[in-house]
Amino acid sequence: MSQQERIWIDPAEVERYILELARHGGDGTGVRRLVYSPEWVAAQEQVASWCREVGLEVHRDAVGNVWGRLAGTEGGPSIATGSHIDSQNPGGRYDGALGVIAGILALRALRERYGQPRRTIEVVSLCEEESSRFPAAAFWGSRAITGRATPADTEELRGYGGETMAEAMRAVGLDPARIPEARRSDIDTWIELHIEQGPILEQAGLPVAIVNGLPGIRHYVVRVEGRSDHAGAMPMDLRRDPMAGAAEMISGVIRTAQEMGRPAVTTVGRMLVEPNFPAIVPERVTFTIDVRHANPAQRDRLHAAHEALLRAVAERRGLGLHWEITTDLPPCPADPELVRLLEDVAREQGVPTLTMPSGAVHDTQRMAEIAKVAMIFVQSKDGRSHTPAEYTAPEHAAAGIQVLAAALHRLAY
């Protein structure tokens, strides 16, 4: 194929869409848009009306995901793009929202310039990616699409306010019994555009990245047991101090991830000390370890190194050690051919990119259960996200959408 024509996406237009969507749940420079809230309903309505303006057939599925469809002449499975419009509480204007807007603007550009595609292209605005209203319902929208949400779940899942998922769905006119209808088995390719949420692109001075994999994520809850003693009367050499052990374990696992290098990340974000008084050697220290890596083999090495270190410290110090793994999602490699295609079209479009793994988890990880997947990242200012300080320059966003549109063109026309 000869050099592809450049696709023009107007940065000012991207900015206008972002600001317009941010009016729903707007809070300073951020948004609070929790799934099934009035702000979220209004934002989904906005997305639906943009899709109609662009000439897409609009459909709201059983969990409230909004789909816009540009039917192809050939039929067959769809190529889909999109992201989520629910936010952290509060979150930024760009997380998720930009990926939905990107899909709409890419389809508009393609339809205006090239007309009807050969293959069907769809854009979707997914619900409750963030689990900001229902803590155990992350990826609720994409779980429904991939058949991993059930009507029974809606009675179990509770929001921070105590309400069930079923109650929240019914309040916006959705029937939990129909969740299985949201399942899709006719999507074969998925490309999600998202803000990077980290500093890599900014440090490299590049607008866009092609994402070649998403991290596996594992959560450990580690309990270290020692013996409670008087902080003055018990000599150091006779103590079994779980705090001393936990401190050594924590600095050890963090150092291990540091030494392994990017993209390994290990975080200890929560700690519970019992009895938690200044003049008592604690009886027990419990802490979490969040471990992420995009490469399956490296990830196994990281887990093994962490576990060996915990055991060695506990044994040397005579401490009891127990752990529980509460979350364990495998890494999700992107489809290598799709990554190559994205790299190719970016080059043809004159958009400089680098190829990197994602640090964060995304709906794409779920969509990988039914489709070939890849992602496009655009630069995040100062690497900030999940805060109203989140910002992506319009020209960087537009460059990412240009790559998305060119990829959809290559695949569907």
- Give the binding site for Zn ion (CB under 5 A): 95-96
d(CA 25, CA 27): 6
Nearer Cβ to Zn ion (92/263): 92
- Least Å from the CB of residue 105 to Zn ion: 18
- Least Å from the CB of residue 31 to Zn ion: 12
Nearer Cβ to Zn ion (95/153): 95
Burial 73-102 (b: 16+ CB within 10 A, else e): eeeebbbbbbbbbbbbbbbbbbbbbbbbbb
Whole-angstrom CA distances from 218 to 215, 251, 395 are 10, 18, 36
Q: Which residue is nearest to Zn ion (CB)?
A: 96
Contact 397, 98 (CB under 8 A): yes
Cα atoms found within 13 Å of the Cα of residue 74, Cβ hemisphere only:
12
Nearer Cβ to Zn ion (72/96): 96
Nearer Cβ to Zn ion (82/282): 82
- Least Å from the CB of residue 296 to Zn ion: 23
- Least Å from the CB of residue 147 to Zn ion: 22
Nearer Cβ to Zn ion (88/120): 88
Nearer Cβ to Zn ion (138/321): 138
d(CA 355, CA 211): 6
Nearer Cβ to Zn ion (95/225): 95
Whole-angstrom CA distances from 390 to 83, 91, 92, 305, 383 are 17, 8, 5, 35, 8
Residue 294, both tokens: 């995009």
d(CA 104, CA 99): 9
Residue 25, both tokens: 């749940």
Nearer Cβ to Zn ion (128/225): 128
Which amino acid does the sequence have at 406? A
Nearer Cβ to Zn ion (96/141): 96
The 10 Å Cβ neighbour count of residue 333 is: 17
- Least Å from the CB of residue 400 to Zn ion: 14
DSSP assigned state of 96: T
Contact 339, 358 (CB under 8 A): no
Residue 24, both tokens: 């729903």
- Least Å from the CB of residue 24 to Zn ion: 16
- Rounded to an integer, what is the distance from CA 82 to the centroid of its chain? 12
- Least Å from the CB of residue 86 to Zn ion: 9
Alpha helices in 237-380 (DSSP H): 242-260, 296-317, 336-348, 363-367
- Least Å from the CB of residue 387 to Zn ion: 13
- Least Å from the CB of residue 386 to Zn ion: 9
Instruction: Note the maximum CA span of the chain.
Output: 83
- Least Å from the CB of residue 129 to Zn ion: 6
Beta bridge partners, 267, equal: 290
Nearer Cβ to Zn ion (304/389): 389
Whole-angstrom CA distances from 164 to 36, 155, 284, 332 are 12, 6, 34, 30
